[in-house]
């Protein structure tokens, strides 16, 4: 679709919403990065900067009963679902006021109420879970769908192939989303397989499978619209390979020496937030003051996130036994 057509399909309100959402994701991650450097956040910390159009794209079409599951790169998906960013930041800081009560950390955000089934740390391990969430929706007879996000590295795991096969055979309401940012840590997609057009992997299971430009939120939203409709109608899963880029290293400790500055810049030149902003400007969807207001609102939100996270308490040492079993009086082995 040409840019003009796209701009016509989506309303002014939609563009402003996208701008605000994606800018919030980015500013949130920038603050997480700064807080990591200040050692407020510890452990592994993977940022979503550059990939924002994917979450903004599916949230354009997702409803309340729908669900999302993802990897350890999981700060922005719950925010997209409507989780208060304050409690995501508090989780990063390891506070009991965090979404996982300070137990999960950066890689393990969960928000059951909002339909966010978590941040999972074992590459590929959560893909069957995504299919299982969809299985339960079908079983219960709802029209809800599941979005299952994964990296390009994850598609080389057996779990991916097993899950796709069953999801297709059983026509589960799943949308499998490969966030192809071209690298799994330091390993480029080409170095892991002869099949580098990852959407083609779905063809092995006769699954409707498409490549999508992940630097365009319109393209993402279009692709999700079609896939979600297919799933809701009971016509089964879709595989989307969304071609995107992570601007930062794999995690905070990766200097990303395996790729060139030119490559990075070629994506930054197509930045999804900048391109939404230029559509807004070209069409006079907002005045400079209105845009400033959005930006300062986000700035304020981020400041509140940090204040809230700082103000929270760390778990108490004795809390380590909480929330492991549903059984309240489980007899743990307790010795010296």
Ligand X SMILES: Cc1ncc(C[n+]2csc(CCOP(=O)(O)OP(=O)(O)O)c2C)c(N)n1
Taking the complex as a whole, how short is the minimal distance between the CB of residue 233 and ligand X, in angstroms? 30
The Cα 90–Cα 78 span in angstroms is 13
Within 164-203, the residues that bind other proteins by CB under 8 A are 184-187, 191-193
74 binds Mg ion (CB under 5 A): no
Which of 34, 37, 122, 324 is close enough to bind ligand X by CB under 6 A? 122
87 contacts 99 by C-beta, under 8 angstroms: yes
**146 pairs with which residues across the strands?**
67, 174
Residue with nearest beta carbon to ligand X: 151
Residues 192-231: x where in contact with ligand X by CB under 6 A, - otherwise, as a string: ----------------------------------------
Q: Which two tokens stand for residue 285?
A: 């969807």
- 86 — alpha (psi -120 to 50), left (phi > 0) or beta? alpha
Burial 58-91 (b: 16+ CB within 10 A, else e): bbbbbeeebbbbbbbbbbbbbbbbebbbbbbbbb
Taking the complex as a whole, how short is the minimal distance between the CB of residue 88 and ligand X, in angstroms? 18
Stretch near ligand X under the rule CB under 6 A, chosen from 57-65, 98-106, 151-159, 326-334: 151-159
Placement of tokens 């999801």 in the chain: 167
- Strand 146-151, strand 174-180: pairing: parallel
Stretch near other proteins under the rule CB under 8 A, chosen from 37-45, 221-229, 263-271, 291-299: 37-45
Reported in sequence order, the residue ranges of the chain that DSSP labels E, i.e. its strands, are: 67-70, 116-119, 146-151, 174-180, 183-184, 187-188, 209-213, 238-243
The Cα 115–Cα 134 span in angstroms is 12
Q: Which two tokens stand for residue 298?
A: 């986000």
154 binds ligand X (CB under 6 A): yes
Residues 165-184: x where in contact with ligand X by CB under 6 A, - otherwise, as a string: --------------x-x-xx
241 binds Mg ion (CB under 5 A): no
255 binds other proteins (CB under 8 A): no
Residues 109-148: x where in contact with other proteins by CB under 8 A, - otherwise, as a string: -----------xxxxxx-----------------------
Residues 95-134: x where in contact with Mg ion by CB under 5 A, - otherwise, as a string: ----------------------------------------
Q: Which two tokens stand for residue 280?
A: 């807004």
> Given the complex with other proteins, which of 165 and 187 has the nearer CB atom?
187
Contacts of 281 (CB under 8 A, 6+ apart): none
286 contacts 16 by C-beta, under 8 angstroms: yes
Q: Which two tokens stand for residue 255?
A: 């200097």
321 binds other proteins (CB under 8 A): yes
Per CB under 8 A, residues contacting other proteins are 42-44, 94-95, 100, 102-108, 120-125, 153-154, 156-159, 184-187, 191-193, 258, 314-321, 324, 332-336
């Amino acid at each position: 679709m040409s840019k003009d057509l796209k701009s016509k399909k989506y309303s002014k309100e939609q563009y402003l919403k996208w701008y605000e959402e994606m800018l919030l994701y980015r500013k949130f991650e920038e603050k997480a990065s700064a807080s990591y450097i200040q050692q407020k956040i510890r452990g592994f910390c993977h940022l979503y900067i550059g990939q924002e159009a994917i979450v903004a794209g599916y949230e354009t079409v997702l409803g309340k009963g729908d669900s999302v599951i993802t990897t350890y790169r999981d700060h922005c998906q719950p925010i997209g679902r409507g989780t208060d960013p304050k409690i995501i930041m508090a989780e990063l800081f390891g506070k009991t006021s965090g979404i996982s009560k300070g137990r999960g950390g950066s890689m393990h955000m969960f928000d059951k109420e909002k339909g966010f089934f978590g941040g999972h740390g074992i590459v590929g391990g959560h893909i069957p879970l995504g299919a299982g969430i969809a299985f339960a929706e079908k079983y219960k007879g709802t029209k809800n769908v599941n979005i299952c996000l994964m990296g390009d590295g994850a598609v080389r795991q057996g779990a991916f192939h097993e899950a796709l096969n069953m999801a297709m055979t059983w026509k589960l309401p799943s949308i499998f989303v490969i966030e192809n940012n071209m690298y799994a840590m330091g390993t480029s997609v080409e170095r892991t397989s002869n099949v580098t057009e990852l959407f083609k992997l779905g063809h092995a299971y006769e699954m409707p499978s498409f490549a999508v430009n992940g630097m365009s939120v319109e393209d993402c939203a279009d692709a999700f619209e079609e896939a979600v409709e297919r799933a809701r109608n009971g016509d089964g899963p879709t595989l989307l390979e969304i071609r995107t880029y992570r601007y930062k290293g794999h995690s905070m400790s990766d200097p990303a020496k395996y790729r060139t500055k030119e490559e990075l810049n070629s994506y930054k030149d197509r930045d999804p937030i900048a391109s939404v902003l230029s559509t807004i400007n070209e069409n006079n969807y907002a005045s400079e003051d209105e845009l400033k207001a959005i930006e300062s609102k986000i700035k304020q939100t981020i400041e509140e996130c940090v204040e809230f996270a700082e103000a929270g308490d760390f778990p108490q040492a004795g809390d380590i036994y909480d929330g492991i079993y549903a059984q309240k009086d489980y007899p743990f082995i307790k010795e010296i």
